[in-house]
Amino acid sequence: MAESCIFCRILSGEIPGQFVYQDEHVAAFRDIHPVAPVHVLVVPREHVESLAKATPGQRDLLGRLLEAAAQVARQEQLADKGYRTVINTGVDSGSEVAHLHVHVLGGRQMQAMG
């Protein structure tokens, strides 16, 4: 599965990505179809299909993913006014890529969710 995963291919450099953050565990790059002025995807370097497929052994990785999302928000100067983080899981969520990722969205007023 990981061989055909577009995010794995971006992480390997096979497909170019506009990276805004990288460390040994996670990377963040701009979404090619942004829905907000700032729309960055934060992904683990390890292929994890979804939040539902994450294992207890990946607890530290999940924490690093959220830490990196907060770092991206600070870098993109979203922290003071606010931003949204979204993790879509499964087909009904609208997820298009089967690789765990956090959307960091900001730069405009977001609509309330329900």
- What pLDDT does 113 receive? 79
Containing 19, the helix (H) or strand (E) segment is strand 19-22
Domains of the chain: total: 1
In a domain, 77, yes or no: yes
Check which CATH number belongs to the domain holding 83 and give it: 3.30.428.10
The four Cα atoms 10, 53, 104, 94 give a dihedral, to 10 degrees, of 90
In a domain, 45, yes or no: yes
- Model confidence pLDDT, tens digit, residues 73-84: 999 999 999 999
List residues with catalytic annotation. 101
Give the domain range for residue 56: 2-106
Distance linking the first and last C-alpha atoms of the chain: 35
Is residue 91 predicted with pLDDT exceeding 90? no
